[in-house]
Amino acid sequence: MRLRADEERCVGAGQCVWALPEVFTQSERTGTVVLLRERPARETGDRVRAAVRACPSGALRLIED
């Protein structure tokens, strides 16, 4: 699985960071999402999907390989 983040669309709510801090963080300058891992570990799949669903702006996209 691969993640994509649209920093232009992100509103900085931080739901993804709260759900999965080992995969997402926020820019100190803009507060928008920053991917720490474009390809998160398979065992985090359920949590990744939950983080993507929780994004209020729809800035996150999950591509299942």
Beta bridge partners of 34: 25
Q: Is the pLDDT of residue 65 over 90?
A: no
**pLDDT, tens digit, 9 for 90 and up, residues 8-63:** 999 999 999 999 999 999 999 999 999 999 999 999 999 999 999 999 999 999 99
What is the amino acid identity at position 1?
Answer: M
Percentage of the chain surpassing pLDDT 90? Answer: 98
Query: E strands, 1-59, where?
Result: 2-5, 24-26, 33-35
Helix H or strand E segment including 63? strand 60-63
The verdict on pTM exceeding 0.75 is yes
